[in-house]
Amino acid sequence: MTPGSFQQDMSEIQNITVLGSTGSIGESTLDVVARHPDLYRVFALTGRTRIERLAEQCRVFSPRYAVVADAEAASQLRSCLNGKCGELEILVGEQGLIDVSEAGDVDTVMAAIVGAAGMRPTLAAARAGKRVLLANKEALVMSGALFMSAVRDHGATLLPIDSEHNAVFQALPPSYDRNPGAHGVTRILLTASGGPFRDRAPETLHAVTPEEACAHPNWSMGRKISVDSATMMNKGLEVIEAHWLFGVSADQIEVVVHKQSVIHSMVAYTDGSVLAQLGNPDMRTPIAHALAYPARIESGVAPLDMFKIAHLDFEAPDFRRFPCLKLAFDALRAGRGLPAVLNAANEVAVDAFLTGRIPYLTIPTLIESVMNKMHDATDTTLEQIEQVDAEARVLSQALIREREAA
Ligand code: NAD
Ligand code: MG
């Protein structure tokens, strides 16, 4: 991360690629971009599903490129646009995503694909020295060491979109260089809402449905991250994300359950100061912050009304209720390929839960079994990481099939 060295020239229009534009973060990004046509121009939009929505976005933002999964999706997009594509070129597959991430005309890449699928395009943006707005935490969890060196070696600017990490970024000094000791930073306090099951009796959790798990009390998000919020694996992935972004160890990261989701995270300093960033829970704030950094632009988010909030509550997380959070700390402490194993097993488990193949409480037990079986996974090269990812997925699927057969 190079927060101090970046000076953005707000008089020049920024060309933006939005990876995952049809998702929750993608839509919020376009909402902010649409408010500032004098500052931002959309270069490329990408989506795997919701092709009609992608077509609508193409009509509104007239990008140079759209990227979809395959030739069938491309012809669907063409027909949604009634042949009226103008200058639009449609690319397909992972190579298409990489091409629009590293293209010479692109200044900024919003990395908002969900899951491991976003890793290569996000890495391509870093290697091309772009300004990378990182929402896709799974990419960083999988390839943290590799990704951070790509950012450093290629002079990319990395700006966190995850609300907690964006809050931490705002509470750190502009010259921060991933060396907490040198800046008097003692702890990073990541806040967590506790999700929809914070107060639910543990003995009723076995019967949780996907709809209940996706009904987040404070945030509106995609289905995968919504389930991750319910299990608190989301916070676990964010702990690993914080380790890579800010150079802090597992012992320097504390999770604080804060049900109002108004304080988005905090930084504790050696003199006893704790700096926090507050705001309404709306992703357009961190998105606008990262788009304009170091300037500030209007985001469409309502001003915070402290009197309406009145109370801010804090409590320690219960690791028995949220075993996924503990597994993530375990993976970070174990290091090597374990975070990639955790991430892949979690993606498979969440998908199996959402499609009715496993019950909610099997999510952590499945991940733990896969982590135990793959305790010596390594992560030195990108190929190794992809192999670990693939192996963990195969193993997770096999365990699910075994369970189904029993
Ligand atoms: P989402 O499911 O709403 O959207 C995901 C986007 O990625 C969609 O455009 C989808 O078409 C695309 N996509 C999915 N699989 C793909 C694949 N295999 N190849 C190419 N494209 C694919 O998800 P979201 O909630 O917008 O989250 C996006 C990322 O941002 C996630 O990594 C999530 O953890 C992170 N994030 C989200 C929020 C939030 O409030 N939604 C907050 C913080 C971080
Ligand atoms: Mg978050």
Domain boundaries, the chain: 14-161, 174-282+303-327, 335-406
Mean pLDDT of 245-266: 98
Question: If you write DSSP's letter for every residue of 312-337 in order, what string do you get?
Answer: ---B---TTT-HHHHHHHHHHHH-TT
pLDDT value of position 203? 87
- Grade residue 398 by pLDDT with cuts at 50, 70 and 90: very high
pLDDT value of position 353? 98
pTM of the complete model: 0.96
Length of the chain in terms of residues written: 406
pLDDT tens digits, residue range 96-110? 999 999 999 999 999
Residue 23 CB less than 6 A away from ligand 1: yes
**Which residue from 114, 231, 261 has its CB within 8 A of the most atoms of ligand 1, so it is best to mutate?**
114
Separation of 266 CA from ligand 1 center, angstroms? 25
pLDDT at 394 over 70: yes
Token look-up 């990489």 returns: 98
Question: If you write DSSP's letter for every residue of 180-207 in order, what string do you get?
Answer: GGGGTEEEEEEEE---TTTTS-GGGGGG
Question: 90 — alpha (psi -120 to 50), left (phi > 0) or beta?
Answer: beta
Alpha carbon distance 11, 125 (integer Å): 23
Return the ligand 1 atom nearest residue 139 CA. 32
Mean pLDDT of 118-136: 98
Alpha carbon distance 305, 280 (integer Å): 9
Alpha carbon distance 380, 143 (integer Å): 9
Alpha carbon distance 359, 103 (integer Å): 43
Return the ligand 1 atom nearest residue 46 CA. 9
pLDDT at 237 over 90: yes
pLDDT tens digits, residue range 342-369? 999 999 999 999 999 999 999 999 999 9
Nearest ligand atom owner, CA of 25? 1
What dotted CATH number matches 14-161? Answer: 3.40.50.720
Return the ligand 1 atom nearest residue 26 CA. 26
**Which amino acid residue places its CA nearest to atom 31 of ligand 1?**
114
**Which amino acid residue places its CA nearest to atom 36 of ligand 1?**
135
- Grade residue 5 by pLDDT with cuts at 50, 70 and 90: very low
pLDDT tens digits, residue range 36-94? 999 999 999 999 999 999 999 999 999 999 999 999 999 999 999 987 778 899 999 99
Separation of 47 CA from ligand 1 center, angstroms? 10
Hey, which residues does 267 pair with through a beta bridge?
Answer: 188, 275
Residue 110 CB less than 6 A away from ligand 1: no
- Grade residue 8 by pLDDT with cuts at 50, 70 and 90: low
**Which amino acid residue places its CA nearest to atom 17 of ligand 1?**
117
**Which amino acid residue places its CA nearest to atom 2 of ligand 1?**
222
Q: What percent of the chain has pLDDT over 70?
A: 97
Residue 93 CB less than 6 A away from ligand 1: no
In 3D space, the residue among 137, 182, 131 whose CA is nearest the CA of residue 17 turns out to be 131
Separation of 191 CA from ligand 2 center, angstroms? 9
pLDDT value of position 9? 63
pLDDT value of position 161? 98
pLDDT tens digits, residue range 256-293? 999 999 999 999 999 999 999 999 999 999 999 999 99
Separation of 19 CA from ligand 1 center, angstroms? 9
Residue 49 CB less than 6 A away from ligand 1: yes
Residue 135 CB less than 6 A away from ligand 1: yes
pLDDT at 1 over 70: no
Nearest ligand atom owner, CA of 255? 2
Residue 137 CB less than 6 A away from ligand 1: yes
Return the ligand 1 atom nearest residue 27 CA. 26
pLDDT value of position 2? 46
**Top CATH class, 335-406:** mainly alpha
Least confident of 190-204, 225-239, 332-346: 190-204
Return the ligand 1 atom nearest residue 24 CA. 26
- Grade residue 209 by pLDDT with cuts at 50, 70 and 90: very high
